[in-house]
């Protein structure tokens, strides 16, 4: 179990909120949770997550842009005693929010390769408030709270496909059950 972030968030819930907010093009929430993790000393993890999001959720060749921003981040931090360059994380979050979304890579690995394992609002007034509530969409089959709420992979695939914004139609969208 990892220690809570500087504002008392569960690490895994922050990570989930970051990715779900990017899927929904919720720039402010995605940026908040990326920088919450970064400020809590999880800078390397944030970059790993942003790379994963670029492959799992985004259409096109955005991973190269994320790589270029990461290279800038590494350069700015070289020889520095403290983390610097959060602007590169902010830019990466904004780009990932704005690109068209498509979950083909994730659907390919789950629906094609792991088919036997697959079960098929205004909540914030001012993003500057600290801390902000963890969005309800954070809690899915990938978080312990979501599992306790009975969330399943079927729910995850349906809800996350619906949430993509902007969305590029995917090759495997028809495999996601839409209740």
**CATH number of the domain where residue 64 is located:** 1.20.272.10
pTM for the whole structure: 0.74
Identify whether 141 is part of a domain. Answer: yes
Identify whether 151 is part of a domain. Answer: yes
* Overall domain count for the chain: 1
Range of the domain at 162: 11-175
Identify whether 6 is part of a domain. Answer: no
Specify the range with the lowest mean pLDDT, choosing from 40-49, 87-96, 141-150, 157-166. Answer: 157-166
Residue pair 32/133 in contact by the 8 Å Cβ criterion: no
123-140 per-residue burial string, b: 16 or more CB within 10 A, e: under 16:
eeeeeeeeebebbebbbb
Is a pLDDT exceeding 60 seen at residue 119?
A: no
pLDDT at 114: 62
pLDDT at 83: 86
Task: Taking residues 34-61, report their average pLDDT.
Answer: 96
pLDDT at 107: 83
Instruction: For residues 63 and 86, give the distance between their C-alpha atoms in angstroms, rounded to a whole number.
Output: 18
């Amino acid at each position: 179990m990892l220690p809570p972030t500087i504002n008392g968030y569960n690490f895994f819930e922050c990570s989930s909120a970051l990715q779900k907010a990017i899927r929904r093009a919720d720039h402010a929430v995605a940026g908040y949770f990326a920088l919450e993790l970064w400020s809590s000393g999880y800078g390397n993890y944030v970059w790993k997550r942003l790379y994963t999001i670029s492959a799992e959720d985004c259409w096109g060749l955005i991973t190269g842009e994320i790589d270029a921003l990461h290279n800038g981040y590494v350069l700015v931090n070289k020889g520095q005693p403290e983390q610097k360059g959060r602007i590169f994380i902010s830019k990466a979050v904004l780009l990932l929010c704005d690109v068209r979304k498509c979950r083909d890579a994730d659907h390919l690995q789950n629906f094609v390769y792991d088919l036997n394992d697959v079960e098929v609002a205004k909540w914030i007034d001012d993003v500057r408030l600290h801390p902000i509530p963890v969005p309800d969409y954070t809690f899915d089959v990938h978080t312990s709270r979501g599992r306790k709420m009975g969330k399943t992979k079927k729910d995850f695939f349906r809800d996350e496909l619906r949430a993509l914004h902007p969305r590029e139609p995917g090759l495997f969208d028809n495999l996601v059950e839409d209740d």
